[in-house]
Amino acid sequence: MKVLGHKIELLTGLLLHDGTMAGLQELRFPEEKPLLRGQDATELEHDIETPYGLLHVVIRGSPKGNRPAILTYHDVGLNHKLCFNTFFNFEDMQEITKHFVVCHVDAPGQQVGASQFPQGYQFPSMEQLAAMLPSVVQHFGFKYVIGIGVGAGAYVLAKFALIFPDLVEGLVLINIDPNGKGWIDWAATKLSSLTSTLPDTVLSHLFRQEELVSNTELVQSYRQQIGNVVNQANLQLFWNMYNSRRDLDINRPGTVPNAKTLRCPVMLVVGDNAPAEEGVVECNSKLDPTTTTFLKMADSGGLPQVTQPGKLTEAFKYFLQGMGYIAYLKDRRLSGGAVPSASMTRLARSRTSSLTSASSVDGSRPQACTHSESSEGLGQVNHTMEVSC
């Protein structure tokens, strides 16, 4: 049955209004909470054997029944600490992740204290980096994962989901560029490497020029950490391989015969002042609109998970809700009345909300609901959300 339009009342009382691809939807979030200092969950480091070499992995928490693991993959120039610590240490994010095991993957040789690769070492291709991840999933006995990737890491996770779709339940792809480098881009990168240091070259990938000039404290912090924390020779190999990537080779279903696309629910995220904005918009045009949410964050630069962790956390909570998981979190804006303490469970929804009903049996994999809307004569359209402070 087609529904002629609907309004979904979000868990915290926010209202997401009907929209079209041409009209941005606005989503307002509560005031950001401070980071929790000194309250990190127990982290265990592992070196996992894969067909293409060792992978450094950090496990945070322990498996929770049949729930998927949250698996992260960082951007080039960073590692899991530089890319995700601010986000995962954010108070409300910890309220969510304490109900999942978190698996942080570092690309080969990018972790803190990594030894330099020997002369002649062949860094894995982007496809091979994706093919290393099933070894991680198998090693820890995960049934499937929800991936969170940034930049190069988002590309790797998307490729992973294309090759091994049964292992991926959902993806949050931040700053993804689905396109390979053209000759002009390749030449520009080569010229930049001749005139700039490697950290400065990487910074131009992470931040637009406006942010490099205006947000000097953040940029200077990352310049120092990229130069001092990540092994520079290893970083150069990763940087070269990322810039040699091929097109992701995805197409929206129905646009070309036998189109390949991501089969799982996807949340695309980009700041409105990020260098990856055009790439993310193009990626959005190539995905199935019935399973894709596009989150464009207003007043946000190249690292939204660092500069706006509260807003990204709120969006991630709704993304989990859409897949059949929901966090009953204490709403600090309520003046009275008991609110259930934090717990993660499956939500069985009524069809009146026009969302696909999820299983309430913990042993079964929930059916993902769509974030699209149906209207007779209009077809499927995405949810495009612009976050406002």
State residue 3's pLDDT score.
35
Cα 99 from Cα 119, distance rounded (Å): 43
Tens digits of residue pLDDT in 20-50 = 333 333 333 333 334 333 344 578 999 999 9
Nearest to 186 by CA among 111, 239, 136, 109: 239
Quickly count: other Cβ atoms within 10 Å of residue 45's Cβ.
12
Spell 268-296 as b/e; 16+ CB within 10 A means b: bbbbebbbbbebbeebbbbbbbbbbbbbb
Angle, nearest 10°, between helix axes 232-242 and 198-206? 50
CA dist., res. 127 & res. 163, Å (int): 9
pTM of this structure: 0.78
User: Which among 352, 383, 379, 357 is positioned nearest to 368, based on CA atoms?
Assistant: 357
Smallest CA-to-CA distance from 306 within 198, 225, 210 is with 225
Measured CA angle at 290 (ends 251, 265), to 5 deg: 85
Q: Which candidate, 142, 93, 64, places its Cα nearest to that of 362?
A: 64
pLDDT digits (tens, 9 = 90+) for 104-151: 999 999 999 999 999 999 999 999 999 999 999 999 999 999 999 999
Q: Which residues pair with 346 in a beta bridge?
A: 325
d(CA 174, CA 304): 8
Average pLDDT in the 228-241 region? 97
Among 17, 104, 12, residue whose Cα is nearest residue 60: 104
Query: Which two structure tokens, joined as six digits, stand for 374?
Result: 């149906």
Predicted local distance difference test score (pLDDT) of residue 292: 96
- Residue range 234-245: mean pLDDT, rounded: 96
Integer CA distances (angstroms), 310 to 88, 215, 222, 294, in order: 10, 19, 20, 17
| pLDDT at 347 > cutoff 70 | no
Q: In terms of Cα–Cα distance, which of 189, 175, 190 is closest to 281?
A: 175
Q: Could you tell me which of 389, 383, 338 has the C-alpha nearest to residue 22?
A: 383
Q: Decide if pLDDT at 220 tops 90.
A: yes
Closest listed residue to residue 11, CA positions, set 336, 320, 385, 351? 320
Nearest one of 128, 125, 133, 166 to 149, comparing CA atoms: 133
User: Mean pLDDT score of the chain, rounded to an integer?
Assistant: 78
Tens of pLDDT, residues 48-84: 999 999 999 999 998 888 899 999 999 999 999 999 9
Which pair of tokens denotes residue 56? 């450094």
Please, are residues 151 and 271 in contact by the beta-carbon 8 Å criterion?
no
Residue 363 pLDDT > 90: no
